[in-house]
Amino acid sequence: MRRRTFLASLAAGATAALSSSAFGASPRMKLYDTHAHFYSNDFEHYPLRADVAPAALARARTHPMTVEAMLGMWRQAGVELGCGVQYNTTYATDNRYLLDVAAAHPDRIRPVVILGPTDPATPAALGRMAKDNRICGVRFAGPPDETSNFPFLTEAARGAWEAADSLGLVVVLMPYRSHLPEAMSRIGALATRYSNVTIILDHIGFPTPAPDPNFGFSPAHLALAAHGNVYYKYTSLLIEQLQAGGVSPREFLKFAVGIYGADHFVWGSDIGNTEGDYAHLVQMALDSADGLTRAQQRAIFHDTAQKLFVPGGRGRA
């Protein structure tokens, strides 16, 4: 997957209010951005990962995605709440900056950390972070291993899944594109086993953008509709991929909502990673939803996320 960079210099000028094209003359509704990446240029207190790419280092040094910058953009766009998603590109599993900004703004930021899914220390860390840091979820991502399996979907990650299930946390998954049908089948099995976990698929599980009747969704993708605790994150990155593939985001989203239900979608800008000014990313997503009802739009852009991302987790079912 190609990693895209955020041009903070453009975001600094995003002061104009969003248009109301997606909702006619109705007042703008509240928004919940479930996918925002924070990173600082205070390298003394928040050092970057040792193997950080030169481009990411330059971006963090000159255009950091600080809490001040993020909250300013959220305020201008009408974003009431948001999830800070740990940024693997800059910090890997060192979640300190994310946890610090979330602690400073508990009324605005819900933290989703990254931990090693097969690390024996992860189950205890999830319990501690749920209690002390009020995390609402954990994110597992990456390519398959040498056996063509995603480690976070194997028995080696059982301890992490059991801890998330006990705590009632969200588990955000982003398997890279290779071996996706097998991954979708495994996710369905885990959803059944860990019924107290809310699973959210980043970028709706990366369906291959295609102007076909199923809009690139594989049968394994579509089969996940049977699992009520699997949800889908609709993102700017996915919208851009759809456009590049000649697929109408509006028609794609209408189809996807028909399969999974609007109450199983959340929206995330991917700001801090996806290129572009924040106001444009928000408006692009809103415009793609103008074929849906007002209730469906509210579910995708606010209500479902507010229900799912519970600080500290929901606890046992």
Q: What is the pLDDT of residues 272-312, one digit of tens each?
A: 998 789 999 999 999 999 999 999 999 999 999 999 999 99
**In this structure, what token pair is assigned to residue 114?**
């990254």
User: Region 153-169: what's the mean pLDDT?
Assistant: 98
Residue 17 has pLDDT above 70, yes or no: no
DSSP state of 137: E
Supply the pLDDT for residue 5.
Answer: 38
SS3 call for 184: helix
Q: What is the pLDDT of residues 23-37, one digit of tens each?
A: 333 347 899 999 999
DSSP state of 225: G
- C-alpha torsion 172→177→178→181, nearest 10: 70
Q: Which residue has the tokens 């002061």?
A: 15
Contact 273, 237 (CB under 8 A): yes
Angle at 99 between CA 98 and CA 104, to 5 degrees: 100
CA distance 151 to 295: 38
Q: Which residue has the tokens 């997606």?
A: 22
Taking CA atoms, 213 is separated from 45, 182, 251, 283, in Å, by 51, 22, 11, 26
Residue 182 has pLDDT above 90, yes or no: no
- Give the containing element (helix H, strand E) for 100: helix 96-104
Q: What is the pLDDT of residues 77-120, one digit of tens each?
A: 999 999 999 999 999 999 999 999 999 999 999 999 999 999 99
Q: What is the pLDDT of residues 207-258, one digit of tens each?
A: 988 888 999 899 999 999 999 999 999 999 999 999 999 999 999 999 999 9
For CA atoms 278, 245, 176, 187, give the dihedral sign.
Answer: positive
For CA atoms 43, 48, 52, 56, give the dihedral sign.
Answer: negative
Rounded to 5 degrees, what are φ and ψ at 301?
A: -95, -5
CA distance 27 to 31: 12
Supply the pLDDT for residue 180.
Answer: 82
Q: Residue 147 — very low, low, confident or very high, per pLDDT cuts 50/70/90?
A: confident
CA distance 84 to 65: 11
User: Region 137-162: what's the mean pLDDT?
Assistant: 94
The pLDDT > 90 percentage for the chain reads 82
Can you identify the CATH homologous superfamily of domain 8-308? Metal-dependent hydrolases (3.20.20.140)
- Domain spans, the chain: 8-308
